[in-house]
Amino acid sequence: MRCPNNDLQLPYPSAAGTPQQPGGSVGDGSPAAETGVPHPNGKTPDQVEKLGEVAWCHKEFIDNHGSMTQADSLAIRRRIYGLGRSGVQRSVTLFVGSNSILWMNHQEDGRTRSGDPVGLTEEGTRVAELWHALQTAADTSA
């Protein structure tokens, strides 16, 4: 599965080093299985269906480029959700709440800038890996 924009050059310099997820663990803290695929929980089917593709595309981008900025994330979200107000603006909810899949480090003034680092939360990684495992299983069974 190829995600949109993962072959693009980074439009802004990436954050130095590897940014860490602020605020500790997110979600239910389910440990990854020995196979590397996380354990599902009761909310998992809906989360994987709604958020899996965008989580996987962010994970693939970070794996390929080492880090991600707000501009990189926005480009992926625009490809998946569309350019209109209802699309990308609605995708901001991916950063909010106990089941958020993405985090962003803002400047001290709290304003969002295109160069702000973005990453996956633990929940985002879990959802991405489950979605990818389901896609891989579907591809091999077809």
Residue 15 has, within 13 A of its CA and on its CB side, a CA count of 22
Six-digit token pair at 112?
A: 């969002």
SS3 per-residue string spanning 19-66:
CCCCCCCCCCCCCECCCCCECCCCCHHHHHHHHHHHHHHHHHHHHHHC
Cα 117 off chain centre by: 12
Pick the CATH number of 44-137 from 3.30.70, 1.10.3470, 3.40.50, 1.10.10: 1.10.10
Q: pTM of the entire structure? A: 0.71
Contact 100, 42 (CB under 8 A): no
Q: Which position has the higher pLDDT, 121 or 8?
A: 121
CA distance 115 to 122: 22
Model confidence at 142, in pLDDT bands (50, 70, 90)? low
* Mean pLDDT of the region 32-49: 61
Domain ranges of the chain: 44-137
| pLDDT value at residue 64 | 97
